[in-house]
Copies of this chain bind each other. A is one copy, B any other.
Amino acid sequence: MENRQPPASYSAAGVDLEAGALANRLIHEQAQTTFSPGVLGDVGSFGSLFQVQGYREPVLVSSVDGVGTKLKVAIALDKHDTVGIDLVNHCVNDILTCGAQPLFFLDYIAMGKLVPERIQAIATGLARACREAGCSLIGGETAEMPSLYAGGDYDLVGFIVGVVEKPNIIDGRAIRPGDVLLGLPSSGLHTNGYSLVRRIFGTEPSALKAFYPELGRTLGEELLEPHRSYYPLLKPALPRVKGLAHITGGGIVDNLPRILPQGLSARVDTSSWETPAIFRLIQERGGVDTREMYRVFNMGIGMIVVSSPEEAAGLRALLPQASPVGEVVEGKGKPGVELVGV
Interface, chain A (partner B; CB < 8 A): 3, 5-10, 12-15, 40, 43-52, 57-66, 68-69, 71-72, 93-95, 97-98, 100, 104, 106-108, 110, 138-141, 143, 145-150, 153, 155, 157, 159, 161-162, 166, 169-172, 191-196, 198-199, 203, 245-246, 248-250, 254-255, 258-259, 288, 292, 295-296
Contacts and interface: CB of A to CB of B under 8 A. Distances in A.
In the complex this chain forms, how many copies of it are found? 2
Contacts of A198: 13, 147
18 contacts: A3-B64, A6-B249, A8-B191, A8-B193, A10-B295, A15-B195, A43-B169, A43-B171, A44-B171, A46-B93, A46-B97, A50-B61, A51-B58, A62-B104, A64-B108, A69-B147, A69-B148, A110-B155
Given A43-B98, A48-B62, A106-B159, 8 more contacts: A8-B194, A44-B169, A51-B57, A52-B60, A66-B141, A69-B147, A108-B157, A147-B198
A94 B59 contact: no
Nearest to A289: B12
A106 B196 contact: no
A240 to B, nearest CB: 18
Contacts of A203: 147
A10 B63 contact: no
A199 B8 CA distance: 14
Contacts of A47: 61-63, 94-95, 97-98, 100, 162
Contact of A254 (B6, B71, B138): B6
B60 A10 contact: no
Given A8-B193, A171-B43, A250-B5, A48 B61 contact: yes
